[in-house]
């Protein structure tokens, strides 16, 4: 954690009553934070622009407050088109507060951009305004040309009194913000008039459509702003109506402090004469002050912000009834969160297909996880947002912030002034004071992830006797590559079952069968993965209006069109001259090499049976029935029951399923249609516990091409898992390959989603080959340390 210990308590003409009412605020906030901790997401994408059919690579970082989050195990990304139609959903496991994956833009995609919405189940308990959102441009040659004279976006203007309200006869700072219907900032100028149409004061935007003006409303007066939009049209906006009672808060900056003034009307009610002021960040109390305004209408004090953690701080004024009456947010940037890595050029080679080698160093002894993207420097990688701006600003503010990384580019006074305009004109309400003071938390519909994917379900219409006899449900999980896992999950009295914390990618066949008995025909088995429900018809509005940046677009379109033609050829397997020397193997030798893995099971003194090619095997209900009378010395009892046994030389036989130790009842539950190969080892078998004095029976279930000949045995269902993670393709020009004759136009030259730093000062080395056209390279590094420091570097190499 980056919090500095200690709470600043300032007593301004001490008010015992107010102090006593809020003295437990720290514990109330702590309780709220524990029950309703806020989770935030930042995603580092490999590039800023894509093409239909191309893969989007990403790395996600999750924070809880200012430390790596332990709240979630599953990350959901919804991919929408420009009209808000859901294209797909990807799900990735979260490990140590990070996750990475990929999504391929549909080949038939015809839009200008894709909208990404990322979240965890836990985040859905709170305001959806704080979910991660980003727009990714798609260069599409099939898009129609812009219509000349198309509709001009309409500009709107809003006013925001500092502290929340205007109060009659009290000077206030009045901020304003102008945006068009595309959500982009607009510059405007105008004048504020009273109801008698007399000018009160002029105003003009100063940064990204924002500005502020000092303003004192008169009693009973109303005001209107008259202003000109970029097209010269004269428009009007009503100002907020001033209240006849209340309080106004005003902030100003100093070197290491932030001064605040609080003022009330002279004829204020009694409840405004004793106040308490608190400052919080991430539901943590940083500052508390109390004041008695019985004999005065205004107080001024300071907060030692140099001791605060960085981020959006919320300052709130409470009256003597514990009601919030004025509130303001401001930003503290002490840069203690920041960790800038060093990038050392070992080899910079901008020639065609030149090899580049770099070393990355971190000035810290704490382990970290990073992601690295190297792109064509002429493509203007979008650096308008980064891990600093997302975690400290965008994820804390409701609404769109234009080019948020700018506010972390410098500590110059003008940047700080511009950032304060963002604070004045954007909403922030992660929690309501009424709930905190009442000790209540939001309704938590979505619990924390206790593990990864789950196999959960229930068998309907199952008698108590059958459940008691079975005790467990036997599951065989077969992935698309035919690898298998065996799970014996306990049955609850109501026939339900649940197996947690599994990591399964793509679609898995889940075969199921009751232990020692069978599932009646009248019973229905329901199995799910316990992920959030997926609604393929769900739509959203535009996350943010999109205006394409046409800078360098002609070059990008030409490059990307050619890249699309070449890309598939680049992925072809290399062709090398290979001389093969082999000898003919028997079918049983082929089966042994294909199925056995451990040296204890390979070859050896055993009787081997090829079940795949033995059509008579399917007449046997189990391996025990099949082996009966086939192996001299092997004695099998109750071969056709659900509880068989086997002995050799009067010693019990050991049992293995795919080389995993099991029991006889489990082997008996495996249909012969699912069996590929059986080995019966003469005693002793040293691969068994205790030396295997009775030998062993090893049954291997089918995989690969052998699964195509499987007949219907155990019932199964298809279970969707995590979205498959592809490996980023990067050519190795040190090897000679036939497809390297094609022009290399890659725009993402290198992508490392999970670069790990052990905290021991060792430099991280990575290398890649240039394409055929890039003369400058853009390197972007982002990451997070184990204790929550944020890592960022953007460097242009030329």
Please report, for residues 538, 646, 663, 687, 696, the alpha-carbon distance to residue 651 in angstroms, rounded to integers and kept in the order given.
62, 9, 15, 16, 11
What tokens does 654 get?
């050991």
With beta carbons less than 8 A apart as the criterion, state whether 162 and 174 touch: yes
Please report, for residues 106, 203, 446, 606, 678, the alpha-carbon distance to residue 635 in angstroms, rounded to integers and kept in the order given.
60, 98, 55, 16, 16
Q: CA 80, CA 116: separation in Å to the nearest integer?
A: 6
If you average pLDDT over residues 322-346, what whole number do you get? 92
Give the residue from 298, 358, 280, 157 showing the smallest Cα distance to 780: 358
**Confidence label for 711 from pLDDT (cuts 50, 70 and 90):** very low
Report if pTM > 0.85: no
* pLDDT of 710 higher than 80: no
Q: Under the phi-then-psi rule, with left for phi > 0, alpha for psi from -120 to 50, and beta for the rest, what region is 516?
A: left
Stronger pLDDT, 591 or 141, i.e. the higher one: 591
If you average pLDDT over residues 719-737, what whole number do you get? 88
Bridge partners of residue 329, in order along the sequence: 314
Q: CA 162, CA 172: separation in Å to the nearest integer?
A: 7
If you average pLDDT over residues 195-216, what whole number do you get? 95
* pLDDT of 538 higher than 90: no
If you average pLDDT over residues 287-310, what whole number do you get? 92
**Confidence label for 561 from pLDDT (cuts 50, 70 and 90):** low
* Residues 359-404 pLDDT 10s: 999 988 899 999 999 999 887 778 899 999 999 999 998 888 999 9
Residue 792 CA, distance from chain mean position: 18
* Residues 217-261 pLDDT 10s: 999 999 999 999 988 999 999 999 999 999 999 998 776 789 999
Give the residue from 177, 190, 184, 171 showing the smallest Cα distance to 135: 184
Residue 544 CA, distance from chain mean position: 19
Stronger pLDDT, 3 or 49, i.e. the higher one: 49
Q: Say what the pLDDT of residue 573 is.
A: 42
Q: CA 773, CA 659: separation in Å to the nearest integer?
A: 52
Q: Under the phi-then-psi rule, with left for phi > 0, alpha for psi from -120 to 50, and beta for the rest, what region is 209?
A: left
Q: CA 372, CA 359: separation in Å to the nearest integer?
A: 12
* pLDDT of 138 higher than 80: yes
Q: Provide the strand spans (E) within 380-521.
A: 453-459, 472-478, 484-490, 496-502, 507-514
Q: CA 624, CA 647: separation in Å to the nearest integer?
A: 12
With beta carbons less than 8 A apart as the criterion, state whether 259 and 287 touch: no
Bridge partners of residue 701, in order along the sequence: 675
Stronger pLDDT, 71 or 147, i.e. the higher one: 71
Stronger pLDDT, 760 or 356, i.e. the higher one: 356
**Confidence label for 11 from pLDDT (cuts 50, 70 and 90):** very low
Q: Say what the pLDDT of residue 598 is.
A: 82
What tokens does 50 get?
């894509």
Q: CA 127, CA 674: separation in Å to the nearest integer?
A: 49
Q: CA 117, CA 128: separation in Å to the nearest integer?
A: 10
User: Using only C-alpha atoms, what is the Rg of the chain?
Assistant: 34
* Residues 595-644 pLDDT 10s: 998 888 988 789 999 998 887 787 788 999 999 889 988 999 988 887 89
* Pairing relationship of beta strands 298-303 and 258-264 according to DSSP bridges: antiparallel
Average of per-residue pLDDT values in the chain: 86
Lowest mean pLDDT among 113-117, 165-169, 279-283: 279-283
Question: Best-predicted range by mean pLDDT among 420-434, 484-498, 550-564?
Answer: 484-498
């Amino acid at each position: 954690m980056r919090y500095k210990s200690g709470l600043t308590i300032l007593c301004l003409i001490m008010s015992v009553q107010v102090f006593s009412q809020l003295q437990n605020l720290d514990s109330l906030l702590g309780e709220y934070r524990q029950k309703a901790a806020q989770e935030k997401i930042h995603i580092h994408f490999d590039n800023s622009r894509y093409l239909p059919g191309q893969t989007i690579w990403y790395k996600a970082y999750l924070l809880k407050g200012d430390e790596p989050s332990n709240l979630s195990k599953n990350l959901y990304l919804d991919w929408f088109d420009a009209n808000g139609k859901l294209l797909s959903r990807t799900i990735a496991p979260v490990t140590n507060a990070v996750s990475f994956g990929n999504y391929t833009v549909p080949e038939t995609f015809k839009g200008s951009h894709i909208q990404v919405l990322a979240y965890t189940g836990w985040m859905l308990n709170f305001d959806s305004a704080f979910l991660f959102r980003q727009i990714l441009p798609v260069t599409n040659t099939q898009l129609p040309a812009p219509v000349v004279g198309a509709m001009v976006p309409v500009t709107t203007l809003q006013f925001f009194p500092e502290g929340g309200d205007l109060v009659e006869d009290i000077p206030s700072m009045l901020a304003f913000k102008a945006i068009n219907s595309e959500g982009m900032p607009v510059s405007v100028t105008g004048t504020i008039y009273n109801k008698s149409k007399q000018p009160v004061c002029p105003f003009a935007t100063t940064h990204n459509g924002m500005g502020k003006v000092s303003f004192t409303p008169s009693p009973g007066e109303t005001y209107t702003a008259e202003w000109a939009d970029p097209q010269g049209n004269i428009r009007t906006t009503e100002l907020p109506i001033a209240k006849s009672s209340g309080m106004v808060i005003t902030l100003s900056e100093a070197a290491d402090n932030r001064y605040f003034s609080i003022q009330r009307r002279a004829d204020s009610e009694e409840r405004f004469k004793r106040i308490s002021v608190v400052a919080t960040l991430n539901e943590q109390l940083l500052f508390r002050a109390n004041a008695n305004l019985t004999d005065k209408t205004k107080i001024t004090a300071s907060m030692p912000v140099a001791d605060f953690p960085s981020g959006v701080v919320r300052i709130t004024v409470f009256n003597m009834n514990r009601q919030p009456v004025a509130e303001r947010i401001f930003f503290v940037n002490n840069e203690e969160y920041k960790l800038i890595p060093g990038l050392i050029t070992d080899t910079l080679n901008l020639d065609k297909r030149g090899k580049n080698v770099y070393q990355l160093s971190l000035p810290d002894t704490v382990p970290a996880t990073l992601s690295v993207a190297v792109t064509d420097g002429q493509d203007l990688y979008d650096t308008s947002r980064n891990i600093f701006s997302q975690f400290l600003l965008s994820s804390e503010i409701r609404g769109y912030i234009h080019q948020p990384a700018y506010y972390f580019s410098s500590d110059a006074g003008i940047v700080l002034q511009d950032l304060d305009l963002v604070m004045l004109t954007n909403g922030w309400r992660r929690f309501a004071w009424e709930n905190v003071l009442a000790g209540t938390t939001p309704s938590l519909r979505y619990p924390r992830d206790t593990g990864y994917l789950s196999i959960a379900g229930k068998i309907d219409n199952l008698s108590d006797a059958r459940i008691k006899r079975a005790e467990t449900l036997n599951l065989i999980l077969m992935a698309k590559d035919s690898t298998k896992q065996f799970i014996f999950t306990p049955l609850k009295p109501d026939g339900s079952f649940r197996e947690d914390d599994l990591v399964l990618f793509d679609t898995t066949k889940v075969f199921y069968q009751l232990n020692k008995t069978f599932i009646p025909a009248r019973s229905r088995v329901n199995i799910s993965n316990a992920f959030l429900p997926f609604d393929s018809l769900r739509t959203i509005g535009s996350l943010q209006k999109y205006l394409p940046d046409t800078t360098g677009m002609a070059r990008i379109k030409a490059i990307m069109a050619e890249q699309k033609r070449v890309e598939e050829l680049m992925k072809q397997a290399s062709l090398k001259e290979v001389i093969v020397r082999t000898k003919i193997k028997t079918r049983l030798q082929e089966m042994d090499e294909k199925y056995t893995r451990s040296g204890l099971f390979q070859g050896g003194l055993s009787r081997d049976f090829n079940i795949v090619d033995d059509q008579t095997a399917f007449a046997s209900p189990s391996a025990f029935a099949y082996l009966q009378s086939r192996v001299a010395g092997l004695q099998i009892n109750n071969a056709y029951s659900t509880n068989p046994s086997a002995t050799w030389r009067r010693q019990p036989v050991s049992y293995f399923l795919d080389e995993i130790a099991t029991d006889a009842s489990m082997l008996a539950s495996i249909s012969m249609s699912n069996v590929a190969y059986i080995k019966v080892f003469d005693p002793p078998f040293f691969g068994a516990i205790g030396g295997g004095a009775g030998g062993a029976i090893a049954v291997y279930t089918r995989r690969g091409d052998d699964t195509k000949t499987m007949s219907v045995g155990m019932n199964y269902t298809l279970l969707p898992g995590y979205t498959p993670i592809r490996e980023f393709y990067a050519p190795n020009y040190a090897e000679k390959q036939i497809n390297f004759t094609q022009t290399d136009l890659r725009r993402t030259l290198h992508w490392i989603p999970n670069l790990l730093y052990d905290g021991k000062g060792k430099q991280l080395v990575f290398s890649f080959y240039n394409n055929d056209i890039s003369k400058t390279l853009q390197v972007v590094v982002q990451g997070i340390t184990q204790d929550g420091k944020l890592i960022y570097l953007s460097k242009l190499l030329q």
